[in-house]
């Protein structure tokens, strides 16, 4: 979560390059994690992002991370699954995800692969 109303610094990784995000007045940016991508059945996307320094002005960023208990069941919300929106991810315990994530540090393009349902 970041308030970028006065200062540039947020970048997202898209199509193989880092792209600056232009700040919007009175806007708050909330970056979601992989769990919300799965719970939303892919409607929301986890974006690889970073904050970079700005030599013209100071900025304060605050990061908050919330994780479920290791045995928490993560799965797409049933209300988002229907005939035209099939389930994209299998159900799993958070500890399965965390183990996989730790083993694939830096390989963000494949972190969710073990949890995707085959089409």
Contacts (Cβ under 8 Å, ≥6 apart) of 45: 32, 37
Q: Give me the pLDDT at residue 119, please.
A: 59
40: containing domain? 2-54+67-115
Q: Give me the pLDDT at residue 5, please.
A: 52
Please list the rounded mean pLDDT of every run of 10 residues in the chain (119 residues). 64 92 82 93 92 80 87 97 96 95 81 88
Chain CA centroid to CA 113, Å: 15
Domain assignment present for 104: yes
Domain assignment present for 101: yes
Q: Give me the pLDDT at residue 66, please.
A: 87
Domain assignment present for 62: no
Task: Tell me, yes or no, if the pTM score tops 0.75.
Answer: yes
Domain assignment present for 94: yes
Number of domains in the chain: 1
Q: Give me the pLDDT at residue 39, please.
A: 97
Domain assignment present for 102: yes
Domain assignment present for 61: no
């Amino acid at each position: 979560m970041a308030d970028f109303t006065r200062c540039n610094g947020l970048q997202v990784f898209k199509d193989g390059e880092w792209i600056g995000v232009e700040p919007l007045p009175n806007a708050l940016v909330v970056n979601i994690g992989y769990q919300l991508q799965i719970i939303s059945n892919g409607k929301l996307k986890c974006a690889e992002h970073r904050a970079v320094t700005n030599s013209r002005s100071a900025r304060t960023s605050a990061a908050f991370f919330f994780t479920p208990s290791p045995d928490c069941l993560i799965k797409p919300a049933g209300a988002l699954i229907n005939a035209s929106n099939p389930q994209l991810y299998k159900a799993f315990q958070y500890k399965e995800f965390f183990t996989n994530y730790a083993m694939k540090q830096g390989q963000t393009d494949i972190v969710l692969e073990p949890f995707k349902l085959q089409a």
